[in-house]
């Protein structure tokens, strides 16, 4: 296995640092040992390759191992002798070749039969609970998913930065006004497993002349959001953005996965002490009102009000605002209550182009676009969240806005169009 693949398991883009113990030593060897795969294909061992091995393994870890298995398929070439495939050593992605009696052919001429065999080998080798899907040459050229994506809005550069992600088990009650089976059907229709939902934590950044503006700050690596999060600075470095250049941070709302990146997890000391933090006044007022600490808002928000009151509410570099003002040249607040009482989206405009950073108008991506009236339990006011969602989506369609959401799967930037009672999201890039 190549170093890039080992890094993916050891805490790379998928961020699950505890996955490596679940791989046998020979899995981590380089080059890949073809005999192991052949043995796994012929006689998978339940104790090491099947469900038994997955006991105690987190969903994020399984996702990381699955991603490595996908990379493994891309790195294995097949050699045919008497119509029986055997496996040869790994080669770098993009230069892999397939040899046969007819001569050489490139990776992207590899047959469907070869890919199915490769997927089966990786499935057995890595102990996955279902075969992986090979998604084509475009994916093959990308050995490790990028930690950021860059877009241009007139003179403003917009960056979508990955802070982390996790797989959340699907539970009854996740959607309040439809049955669990309806949700599972939608998950399957979107090509996803029906027993979990994928959640990503993304932070948007704007480059305005000589300053960097963040829209929210991510999880800060707080343990309540699982392992492998808090990767904002790594993604900023990959994008060529200097945290010291951050002069303004625009906050959409005060949930922890949007503000914990502002503060040290142990001391609450500010991470960006020289930046102005711009916060919706209605949101700050709600989280600092008497008695809010006693409201049960779920496990990820336990202690959140107290932490806001000890930090954001007292910091001298916090600027509250009311309504929908222009917060910076080319950046306007758009009221979007529901998920949180005072949440706002941010509309970025320059050179005749508009980009709407929609925060948590949608959390269950991509399925909620086709079901905008689903009331999500994670929203503090689910009915208001539905009304806001439809208002924001209708505006995005009417004004032909580019739109992005904090928790949308990458690529998380694109456009919306109407489809009956729902919407269709078309990703860019």
List, for residues 72-108, the tens digit of each pLDDT value. Answer: 333 332 222 233 333 323 323 322 233 333 333 333 3
Q: Which helix (H) or strand (E) holds 286?
A: helix 281-287
Given its phi and psi angles, is residue 236 left (phi above 0), alpha (psi -120 to 50 degrees) or beta?
A: alpha
Tell me which DSSP letter residue 260 carries.
G
Q: In what order do the strands lie in the sheet with 76-81?
A: 84-90, 76-81, 97-100, 103-106
Tell me which DSSP letter residue 329 carries.
T
Convert the pLDDT of each residue in 344-375 to its tens digit.
Answer: 999 999 999 999 999 999 887 655 667 889 99
CATH 3.60.15.10 domain range(s) in the chain: 148-427
pLDDT at 167: 86
- Tell me the pTM: 0.68
pLDDT at 213: 98
CATH fold, domain 148-427, is: Metallo-beta-lactamase; Chain A (3.60.15)
Of the candidates 279, 156, 325, 385, which has an alpha carbon nearest to the alpha carbon of residue 393?
385
Q: Which helix (H) or strand (E) holds 77?
A: strand 76-81
- The CA distance from 205 to 250, in Å, is 10
Greater model confidence, 101 or 405: 405
**Minimum mean pLDDT range among 117-121, 171-175, 182-186:** 117-121
Does residue 78 contact residue 98 with C-beta atoms inside 8 Å?
yes
Convert the pLDDT of each residue in 107-135 to its tens digit.
Answer: 333 343 343 434 444 434 444 444 333 33
Q: Can you tell me the mean pLDDT for 153-169?
A: 94
Torsion of CA 18, 24, 26, 29, to 10 degrees: -10
Tokens 């930065």 belong to: 161
Dump the DSSP string for 212-245: EEEE----TT-GGG-TT---HHHHHHHHT--GGG
Given a cut of 70, is residue 330 above it in pLDDT?
yes
Q: Which helix (H) or strand (E) holds 355?
A: strand 353-357
Task: Tell me the three state secondary structure of residue 425.
Answer: strand
Greater model confidence, 141 or 219: 219
């Amino acid at each position: 296995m190549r170093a890039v693949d080992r890094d993916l398991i050891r805490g790379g883009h998928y961020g699950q640092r505890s996955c490596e113990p679940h791989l046998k030593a020979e899995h981590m060897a380089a080059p890949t040992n073809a005999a192991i795969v052949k043995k796994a294909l012929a006689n998978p061992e339940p104790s090491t390759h099947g469900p038994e091995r997955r006991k105690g393994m987190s969903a994020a870890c399984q996702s990381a191992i699955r991603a490595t298995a996908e990379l493994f398929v891309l790195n294995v070439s097949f050699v045919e002798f008497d119509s029986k495939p055997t496996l040869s050593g790994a080669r770098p992605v993009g230069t892999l070749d397939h040899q046969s009696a007819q001569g050489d052919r490139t990776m992207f001429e590899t047959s469907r039969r070869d890919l199915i065999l490769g997927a089966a080998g990786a499935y057995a080798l890595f102990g996955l609970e279902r075969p992986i899907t090979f998604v084509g040459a475009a994916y093959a050229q990308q050995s490790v998913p990028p930690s950021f994506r860059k877009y241009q809005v007139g003179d403003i550069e917009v960056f979508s930065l990955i802070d982390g992600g996790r797989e959340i088990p699907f539970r009854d009650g996740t959607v309040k006004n439809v049955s669990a089976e309806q949700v599972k059907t939608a998950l399957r229709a979107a090509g996803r497993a029906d027993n979990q939902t994928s959640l990503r934590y993304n932070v948007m950044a704007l480059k305005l002349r000589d300053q960097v503006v963040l829209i929210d700050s991510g999880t800060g690596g707080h343990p309540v959001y699982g392992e492998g999060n808090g990767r904002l600075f790594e993604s900023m470095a990959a994008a060529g953005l200097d945290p010291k250049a951050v002069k303004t941070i625009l906050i959409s709302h005060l949930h922890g996965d949007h503000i914990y990146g502002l503060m040290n997890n142990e001391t609450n000391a500010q991470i960006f002490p020289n930046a102005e933090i711009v916060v919706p006044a209605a949101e700050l007022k709600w989280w600092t009102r008497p008695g809010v600490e006693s409201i049960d808002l779920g496990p990820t928000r336990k202690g959140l009000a107290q932490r806001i009151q000890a930090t954001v509410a007292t910091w001298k570099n916090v600027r509250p605002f009311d309504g929908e003002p222009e917060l910076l040249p080319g950046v306007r607040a758009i009221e979007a209550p529901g998920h949180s009482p005072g949440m706002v989206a941010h509309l970025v405009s320059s050179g005749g182009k508009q980009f709407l950073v929609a925060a948590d108008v949608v959390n269950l991506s991509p399925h909620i676009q086709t079901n905008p009236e689903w009331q999500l339990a994670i929203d503090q006011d689910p009915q208001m969240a539905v009304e806001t969602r439809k208002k924001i989506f209708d505006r995005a369609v009417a004004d032909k806005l580019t739109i992005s959401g904090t928790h949308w799967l990458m690529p998380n930037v694109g456009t919306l169009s109407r489809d009956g009672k729902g919407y269709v999201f078309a990703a860019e890039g």
